[in-house]
Every structure is written in structure tokens, then in C-alpha cells.
């Protein structure tokens, strides 16, 4: 076991000095008056984080009551009821500290709040680094004249540059290495999971969702927990079987989950170990160097305040430039080279999502930081180059994944009923759906293109072009059952972009935890040509919302996937229990036709041979964008991938029909007026009629 940072003499001394200096700040009176409340608040917060570090780093951690009180105190400032007057709120910071310095100081505070995670994970070097950053910024305000905004930004920039290997390199390491001594592994291995007290050992904000989930799962019989874990693990293993990859060459699996589900995860770890796979478990990224908008990849809890997360989604605007991006790529390459054996042995992510939180509609903060046009370009290019580096050491066609989802108590009083219904949906008969979906595929493989039209107020009118195939031995559509994507229920393809056109419209949809009202996208030759939503009074603000959170700063995105969802059981359940708007895209995409914007489902793995259960090879795995990966022109090669993929589903009730259209114009209806009409698909209508 490596020596903990707490026992490193150099870091210990730096910590002692930083804590002593921060402890003096609240007593000092020489600071400019308008900035003293900010520095007093942040100093107090960092001292609380240090107390948390001391508490958890002792051989005997603090009492459950103390950890609970600590949890409330550490997050109090950003909770919705306090956020309006928090320096973490960029608009409040601008009001109190000035429009020039306020938003930047708010971003500094948001970065310093990473100290909570570092304290609970006993990452003392990262913790003291934040303290020293705070003192550096504080020193700028100790002068007679106020500092320029550029000086504050420089302090953050040099901090990020100096700590690149620890923060960015360390994050890369923890995403590919199994560490039994990591915080989550210790909890999963040894905590008493029958009572929720262990949750406070993570350092994440703990809500009734996590507490009630623990209590609910602790009341379930062991055989039910085992069945849930087995569905999850079996889906992962089936992904390897479908892709014809030898799972015995893999040594690790990345387990991602929501706090409260530890009993299921502990059981799943045992099952994974039977396949020779050790768990990689890590918290979602804390440092802004490692984050992308509001995405949280790793183990998570219910966010303390989603508006806070949204307001700080682009705080890297403080420090992002070419030097930072080049340094990130340099560190990434170095880490992968050091751990290339572990990278090749990486088995992929096994993701356990949750849903049911109160829908979040973000408000636009006037002073929230935004990336400049140049920074947007750098961000996109760096993400693309980072993906290329990762794929060199950890080829995507050499590992699999799986995703499953369960509700959390916030979904409503009938939580237990919904939970049981989701278990049923997640364990539907694969063989039945394989046969039904083959009927749809056989029809689609005779077509030149597909027409999709909305009903009533839904303005969808899409023409989707399909690849030419040898119909005897090839197919355009994958017959997708419950392997990598649970539950069962879709057939999907990567369309030909040229000639794919029309309007995709959805009255209301949640994408990446954000709600879109009247989302409308017009496509020309398979790429986004225009787009709008009704989230804001100003249409231009709606366009920016889409560009930031759906397009991830790309100028356009292609259609990477067209699919027809067949899981009418899930749809009927959602309608009956009135949770349609609360379901995750993982389930919603199985409940109607959907289009994904971004990369295809086969990005970076186009050369892998894939076959449907009927023996036909799936050949529609790329499009006019992804084929550019073969280009000898470096600039054109960069245009192959977009490193995003977002599904947008049209509900059955908003659907007039889907028709497979042959080259001679002959049409065959698959769905009309929200019902399956193709012979061989009749049983899919039974849930809709019942």
C-alpha cells in the first residue's frame, strides 16, 4: 500500500503553513472592505474541509452524527435555499464584488469546492494545492490597488499548469487502474450497508434519495439483489459475446453507480470477479480540467444544486488556452504509455444510472462564464485528439460496456411499485424480441430509405437514407436486445447522410438532464442546418442553449443513428404510472423512433465484424463523416469524429407513421397512428391496448 499523503513530510509542512495562514484571514482588517466577506467565507469553507480531512484520515473515523453534520455544513452555501446569496452564484458575486472580478472569483470558489472530495479521499497534495491557490488569489487583494481580472486568471492558469500531472494525469490513472484502497472500494468492501450512515463517508451531498434507496434495498431479499446484479453483469458479458471479443483477456471493469445502490454493486463485483474482472471505481471528476459541461462520469449522488452545476459548466474559460490543451495531451500520452498494459486489459464501463429527480429547467445566469469562440474551438479539437490517444492504447473495438437504470425515491410515493416494474422491464425475454425485431429488419433491408412523420402538433418529417447492401448476407440494422443497452427493444442503423433530410421535432424532451421545450432540428444531407427550442423568450438564447448542451460547441452535428424502439411494455408502464417525462433516455429510446446526433454507435470500432442472430453481417457502421478517419489530410481527419452521441426520441403518441420505401417508390408501413402494423410485430401492440 502506498504511503498516504498525510504522512508525507513535505506535504504535511505545506499543509500546516497553509492552514495557519488561512486561519488568520478572518481576523485581518486590511483587505478592501467589499471583498472581505468573500475571502472570509471561502477561508472558513477551506478550514472546514481540512477538519473533514483530519476526521476521515484518523484510524478511527468520526462518528456517524459528526459526518452527517459535516455533510450539511460543507454544502449549505450552495443549496437552493441559500444560493441566491452565495459567492458561488456568479450573478451574486458580480453584484457584491463587481462585474469585472466577481464572476472570476465565483469560478475560483467553485474550483476550491473540489476540496470536499479531496479531503474525503485523503488526497492531501490536491487539498493543499487548492489552499495555496486561495492564498495566492488572496495575496493579490492585499495590495493597495485592486488587482486586474487578468492577474486572478493568471493565478488559476499557473495552478492548473503546475498541477496538471497530479490532477489531469491522476484522473486518467484512476479511470483505468483498479485500486482496492480507493475510498469507494473500501466502502463497498467493508461498510455495513443495512443502514445509510455509511453514505456520509463519501463526502458527497446526501439527500433523502440516497437514504431511502439504502433502506429500500436493505429490505429486499438477497435473491432479488442477486437477480438485479446478474442482469447488470450478464448484459456486460453478452456485449462481449455479440462483438466476438475474448473477455478472458480483460482484467478490469469500470463500475459507475449512484450512491445508495451499494448492496447491488457489492453483489455485482463478486459476479464480475467470477469472470476475472476487478472493479475500477472512481468519483466523478472534480477539477475543471477534467470536466465537460455538467456531465458527471463516475459514482455520483443527487447534485446539491443543479443550477450551481449549470452556472459553472464553462469555468475553464478562466484558464483554457493552447498551452493548457497541449500540456493536457502531453500528460495524457505519458500516462497511457506508462500504463499501456493496464489500458489493454481494460474491460469497459458497466453503468448503473438512476432517474426520477424533479425535472430541472436551467435559468440563464447573466455573469456565468462562457468560452470564447477560440476556446470553443480549442475544446473541441482537444477532445478529439484526446479520444484518438485513448483509442491508441484502449481501442474501442476491443472492449464492451453495459448500461442499466433504476428509479430513485424522488420519483414519487409509488417508488416501490415503479422499482418492481422497472425490474420487469429490464428482464424481458430477449428471444421474443429478437424474433419480432427481425421482422422489422427484414422489411427495412428491402428499402432505399425510411420516412418518419409526426402526428398532430408534432412537425417531424424526416427522410432517412440507407446504405446499399447485399441482401443475402448483409443487413443495415442491428437487432439490439438486452446486452450493452438494457432494457431490450430497438433496431438501429447508421444512415447515409447524403439525401437524409427533413425536420425532427419533439414537444418536450430531457437530454443530458436538461429539459428542451419544442425542440426542432432541420437536417440537410444528414447534418444539423438549423435548430430552435422554446426554453427562453429570446430565440437566440435557445439556439445558444442547444449549441452548448446538445452540440457541445460543434458548428453542426450529423445524424449518427436512426432507430425504431419496440419496447411497448416500457411505454405502457410509463404511461400507466405517469412517469414518461421522468424516464432516462436509456429507456425512452426503446419507446419509439429516435435519432442520435453526433457519432455513430460504432465510432472508433467500424472495422469490427458484427453479426445479427440470423447470421447476416451488420455493415452500416459509418457515414460520410466517420469515413474521413482514413484521410491523409490531417485537417480532414479531424472531422471524422465529434465525441458525442445524444438520442432524441419521438413518443408513439406523437407519431403518424414510419414507412420503409423501396427504390421504385413502393411503401411498407411499420408503424401507423402509433401502432405496429407490419406482419410479425402484432404482439407489440398488446401493451398499448391494455
Q: What percent of the chain has pLDDT over 70?
A: 98
Q: Is the dihedral of CA 61, 63, 66, 72 positive or negative?
A: positive
Tell me the mean pLDDT in the region 565-570: 94
Tell me the mean pLDDT in the region 131-156: 94
pLDDT of 569 > 50? The answer is yes
pLDDT of 388 > 90? The answer is yes
pLDDT of 60 > 80? The answer is no
What is the pLDDT, as a whole number, of residue 657?
95
Burial class (CB in 10 A: 0-12, 13-18, 19+), 363: exposed
Q: Residue 4: which pLDDT band, with cuts at 50, 70 and 90? A: very low
Q: Please give the grid coordinates belonging to residue 558.
A: 450529423
Task: Give every CB contact of residue 240 below 8 A, 6+ residues apart in sequence.
Answer: 246, 247, 400
Q: 621-634 pLDDT, tens per residue?
A: 999 999 999 998 98
Tell me the mean pLDDT in the region 462-484: 92
Residue 473 phi/psi, 5° resolution?
A: -130, 0
259 compared with 510, residue with greater pLDDT: 259
Alpha carbons 115 and 636: distance in angstroms, whole number:
41
Tell me the mean pLDDT in the region 153-180: 96
pLDDT of 483 > 80? The answer is no
Alpha carbons 11 and 122: distance in angstroms, whole number:
12
Q: Residue 2: which pLDDT band, with cuts at 50, 70 and 90? A: very low
Q: Which of 436-450, 477-491, 637-651 has the highest mean pLDDT?
A: 436-450
Q: 169-208 pLDDT, tens per residue?
A: 999 999 999 998 899 999 999 999 999 999 999 999 999 9
Q: 245-281 pLDDT, tens per residue?
A: 999 999 999 999 999 999 999 999 999 999 999 999 9
Q: Which has the minimum average pLDDT: 337-341, 365-369, 579-583?
A: 579-583
Hey, how many other C-beta atoms are within 10 angstroms of the C-beta on 330?
14
- Conformational region of residue 474, where left means phi above 0, alpha means psi within -120 to 50, and beta covers everything else: beta
What is the pLDDT, as a whole number, of residue 508?
87
Q: 90-114 pLDDT, tens per residue?
A: 999 999 999 999 999 999 999 999 9
Please, are residues 620 and 602 in contact by the beta-carbon 8 Å criterion?
no
Q: Which has the minimum average pLDDT: 14-23, 235-244, 294-303?
A: 235-244
Strand, coil or helix: 604 = coil
What is the pLDDT, as a whole number, of residue 253?
98
pLDDT of 3 > 70? The answer is no
What is the pLDDT, as a whole number, of residue 61?
52
User: Angle formed by the axes of helices 124-140 and 149-162, to 10°?
Assistant: 160
Q: What percent of the chain has pLDDT over 90?
A: 83
pLDDT of 491 > 80? The answer is yes
What is the pLDDT, as a whole number, of residue 6?
45
What is the pLDDT, as a whole number, of residue 1?
31
Tell me the mean pLDDT in the region 487-516: 92
pLDDT of 38 > 70? The answer is yes
Q: 417-431 pLDDT, tens per residue?
A: 999 999 999 999 889
Tell me the mean pLDDT in the region 378-403: 93
Task: Give every CB contact of residue 530 below 8 A, 6+ residues apart in sequence.
Answer: 521, 522
Tell me the mean pLDDT in the region 321-337: 97
How wide is the angle at C-alpha 621 spanned by C-alphas 616 and 622, nearest 5°?
150
Please, are residues 252 and 280 in contact by the beta-carbon 8 Å criterion?
yes
* DSSP class per residue in 329-361: HHHHHHHHHHTHHHHHTEEEEEEEEEE-PPP--
Please, are residues 122 and 6 in contact by the beta-carbon 8 Å criterion?
yes
What is the pLDDT, as a whole number, of residue 690?
62
Half-sphere exposure of 393 (CA within 13 A, CB side): 20
What is the pLDDT, as a whole number, of residue 30?
82
What is the pLDDT, as a whole number, of residue 180?
87
Task: Give every CB contact of residue 665 below 8 A, 6+ residues apart in sequence.
Answer: none
Q: Residue 59: which pLDDT band, with cuts at 50, 70 and 90? A: low
pLDDT of 333 > 50? The answer is yes
Specify the pTM: 0.89
Q: Is the dihedral of CA 302, 507, 529, 672 positive or negative?
A: positive
Please, are residues 299 and 258 in contact by the beta-carbon 8 Å criterion?
yes
pLDDT of 62 > 70? The answer is no
Amino acid at each position: 500500500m502506498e504511503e498516504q499523503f498525510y504522512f508525507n513530510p513535505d506535504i504535511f509542512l505545506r499543509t500546516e503553513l497553509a492552514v495557519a495562514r488561512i486561519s488568520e484571514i478572518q481576523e485581518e482588517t486590511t483587505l478592501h472592505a467589499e471583498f472581505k466577506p468573500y475571502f472570509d467565507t471561502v477561508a472558513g469553507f477551506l478550514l472546514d474541509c481540512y477538519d473533514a480531512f483530519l476526521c476521515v484520515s484518523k484510524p478511527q473515523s468520526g462518528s456517524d452524527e459528526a459526518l452527517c453534520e459535516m455533510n450539511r455544513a460543507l454544502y449549505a452555501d450552495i443549496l437552493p435555499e441559500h444560493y441566491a446569496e452565495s459567492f458561488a452564484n456568479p450573478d451574486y458575486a458580480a453584484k457584491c464584488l463587481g462585474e469585472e472580478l466577481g464572476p472570476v472569483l465565483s469560478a475560483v470558489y467553485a474550483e476550491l469546492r473540489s476540496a470536499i472530495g479531496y479531503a474525503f479521499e485523503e488526497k492531501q497534495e490536491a487539498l493543499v494545492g487548492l489552499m495555496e491557490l486561495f492564498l495566492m488569489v488572496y495575496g493579490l487583494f492585499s495590495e493597495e490597488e485592486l488587482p486586474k481580472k487578468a492577474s486572478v486568471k493568471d493565478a488559476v492558469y499557473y495552478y492548473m499548469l503546475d498541477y496538471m500531472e497530479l490532477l489531469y494525469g491522476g484522473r486518467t490513472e484512476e479511470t483505468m487502474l483498479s485500486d482496492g484502497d480507493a475510498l469507494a472500494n473500501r466502502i463497498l468492501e467493508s461498510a455495513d450497508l443495512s443502514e445509510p450512515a455509511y453514505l456520509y463517508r463519501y463526502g458527497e451531498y446526501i439527500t433523502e434519495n440516497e437514504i431511502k434507496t439504502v433502506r429500500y434495498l436493505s429490505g429486499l431479499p438477497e435473491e432479488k439483489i442477486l437477480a438485479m446484479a446478474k442482469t447488470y453483469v450478464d448484459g456486460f458479458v453478452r456485449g462481449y459475446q455479440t462483438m466476438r471479443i475474448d473477455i478472458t483477456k480483460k482484467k478490469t471493469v469500470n463500475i459507475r453507480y449512484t450512491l445508495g445502490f451499494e448492496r447491488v454493486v457489492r453483489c455485482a463485483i463478486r459476479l464480475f470477479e467470477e469472470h476475472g474482472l476487478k472493479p475500477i471505481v472512481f468519483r466523478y471528476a472534480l477539477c475543471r480540467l477534467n470536466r465537460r459541461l455538467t456531465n458527471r462520469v463516475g459514482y455520483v449522488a443527487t447534485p446539491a444544486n443543479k443550477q450551481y452545476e449549470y452556472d459553472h459548466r464553462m469555468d475553464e474559460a478562466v484558464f483554457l488556452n493552447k498551452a493548457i490543451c497541449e500540456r493536457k495531451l502531453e500528460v495524457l500520452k505519458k500516462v497511457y504509455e506508462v500504463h499501456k498494459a493496464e489500458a489493454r486489459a481494460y474491460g469497459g464501463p458497466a453503468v448503473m444510472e438512476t432517474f426520477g429527480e424533479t425535472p430541472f429547467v436551467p435559468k440563464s445566469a447573466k455573469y456565468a462564464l462562457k468560452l470564447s469562440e477560440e476556446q470553443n474551438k480549442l475544446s473541441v479539437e482537444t477532445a478529439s485528439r484526446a479520444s484518438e490517444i485513448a483509442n491508441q492504447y484502449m481501442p474501442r473495438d476491443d472492449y464492451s460496456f453495459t448500461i442499466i437504470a433504476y428509479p430513485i425515491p424522488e420519483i414519487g410515493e409509488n417508488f416501490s411499485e415503479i422499482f418492481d416494474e422497472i425490474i420487469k422491464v429490464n428482464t424481458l425475454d430477449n428471444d421474443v424480441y429478437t424474433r419480432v425485431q427481425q421482422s422489422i429488419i427484414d422489411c427495412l433491408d428491402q428499402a432505399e430509405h425510411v420516412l418518419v412523420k409526426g402526428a398532430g402538433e408534432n412537425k417531424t418529417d424526416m427522410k432517412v437514407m440507407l446504405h446499399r447492401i447485399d441482401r443475402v448476407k448483409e443487413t443495415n440494422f442491428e437487432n439490439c436486445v438486452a446486452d450493452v443497452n438494457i432494457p431490450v427493444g430497438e433496431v438501429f442503423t447508421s444512415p447515409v447522410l447524403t439525401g437524409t433530410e427533413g425536420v425532427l421535432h419533439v414537444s418536450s424532451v430531457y437530454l443530458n438532464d436538461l429539459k428542451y421545450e419544442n425542440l426542432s432540428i432541420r437536417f440537410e444531407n444528414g447534418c444539423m442546418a438549423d435548430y430552435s427550442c422554446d426554453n427562453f423568450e429570446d430565440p437566440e438564447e435557445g439556439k445558444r442553449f442547444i449549441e452548448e448542451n446538445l452540440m457541445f460547441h460543434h458548428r453542426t452535428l450529423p445524424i449518427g443513428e436512426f432507430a425504431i424502439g419496440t419496447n411497448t411494455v416500457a411505454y405502457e408502464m410509463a404511461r400507466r404510472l405517469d412517469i414518461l417525462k421522468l424516464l432516462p433516455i436509456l429507456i425512452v429510446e426503446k419507446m419509439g423512433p429516435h435519432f442520435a446526433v453526433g457519432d455513430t454507435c460504432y465510432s472508433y470500432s467500424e472495422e469490427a465484424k458484427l453479426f445479427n442472430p440470423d447470421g447476416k453481417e451488420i455493415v452500416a457502421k459509418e457515414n460520410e463523416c466517420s469515413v474521413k478517419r482514413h484521410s491523409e489530410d490531417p485537417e480532414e481527419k479531424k472531422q471524422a469524429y465529434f465525441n458525442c452521441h445524444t438520442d432524441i426520441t419521438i413518443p408513439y403518441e406523437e407519431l403518424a407513421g414510419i414507412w420503409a420505401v423501396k427504390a421504385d417508390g413502393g411503401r411498407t408501413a411499420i408503424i401507423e397512428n402509433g401502432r405496429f402494423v407490419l406482419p410479425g410485430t402484432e404482439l407489440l401492440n398488446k401493451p398499448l391496448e391494455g
